[in-house]
Every structure is written in C-alpha cells, then in structure tokens.
Amino acid sequence: MNQKFTAETFPHNPEKATEEGKNKFLAFWLFLGGETVLFASLFGTFLALRNSTAGGASAAEMFEPKLVFIATMLLLTSSLTSVYAMYHMKNFEHKKMMLWLGITVLLGLGFLLLEIYEFRHYMHEYHFTIKSSAFGSSFYTLVGTHGAHVFVGLLWITTLMLRNGGRGLNLYNAPKFYIASLYWHFIDVVWIFIFTVVYLMGMVG
C-alpha cells in the first residue's frame, strides 16, 4: 500500500476507491444513524426535565444570547472550513487540506473553551451544577456529551494531521480524513438542535 499518487492518478472519489474505503464510508454513516438515536434519547430526557429546576435558576435567567451566538458561529464556520479541506483533498492538494483542517481544529478548540467558560460561569454565578436539579443533570449531560464529542473530534483530526503530515495523500488515509470530516459535520448538526432546543427555547421560556 505504498502507491504514490499524482494529481493525474489520484482517483475521483478517493475515499471510496478501495473496498476498505467503501466499508468505512458506509459503516460511518450507519454509526451516525445510531448516534442520532443516542442524542435523541438525551434530547428527550432534557425536554422532559427542562422545567424541573428544583427552585434554582431557570434557563431564561441564565442563558446569554451573545455567548451562544458566538459559539454557534465558531462551530458552523469550522464545519465550512472542513468542507474546504475535503475540497482540497479531492484536488490532491495535500498542504491546503492540512491548512484548512488546522483552522477547523482551532475554531473547534475556541468553541470548547467558550463552553468551559460558560459552564464555570453557571456553576459560580447560579450554583447551577449537574447535581443541583433534574434540569441541571439533563442540561450538563446533553450539552456535555456534545462537548465530549467535539473534544474527541479535535483529537481525531489532530492525530490524523500529525500522522499524515509528512506522507501526502493516498488511498489509505483519504477515507480516514473524509470520515473525520463527516463526524465533524454531524457534531455541528447536533449543535444546531442544541442551540435551538436548549438555549433558544430556554430563553423563550
């Protein structure tokens, strides 16, 4: 599997050009189907418990639109930058792909840091913790699970970049990059529903 490629010989859809690639592509979409049910269970739990504040602060009191908007913009933009990375991968432009993947990671990191700041703010200002009420448990579990997924995604993309930085694109690593970017989009999809259902609906009251 040490085949060296050029722009002329790199296949059209490199992520699906091998049997391994086709299997990984399909299996990852299947996994996303399962993850949809996983997050739906967490969303359901949140929806059932969102008003059970046990006398503590409610969503409307705590959530700040500015913070959520910035976080959303960071993640949404990172989704676009990962699309750019895949665009360059298809064009066999290894260095540009790496650049855009790097920007994706930085934006994702910004998102995570903002979220950590947000959680600490709630815990200090409102004593709103994962144990303080059913609302707290369901909020931190849902949003925290999403955050954990973001964290895993960052580790994943970074590892891919470090491992493949020196050896260019081939049919062994192309499926890996493609799937990592699919994962990254999925995380953004989940965030769309989190900011809508948790934050925006919370602020509506």
Instruction: Output the smallest distance, CB 121 to other proteins, in A.
Output: 19
Cα–Cα distance for residue pair 178/180, rounded to 1 Å? 5
Residue 145 has phi, psi (to 5 degrees) of: -60, -40
Q: Give residues with Cβ within 8 angstroms of 175, minimum separation 6.
A: 14, 15, 16, 18, 20, 21, 24, 25
Q: Count H helices and E strands in the chain, helices first.
A: 7, 0
Instruction: Output the smallest distance, CB 81 to other proteins, in A.
Output: 10
CB nearer to other proteins: pick between 122 and 195: 195
CB nearer to other proteins: pick between 14 and 98: 14
Instruction: Output the smallest distance, CB 131 to other proteins, in A.
Output: 5
Kindly report the length of the chain.
205
Tokens linked to 190: 């989940």
CB nearer to other proteins: pick between 47 and 106: 47
Instruction: Output the smallest distance, CB 183 to other proteins, in A.
Output: 10
CB nearer to other proteins: pick between 101 and 171: 171
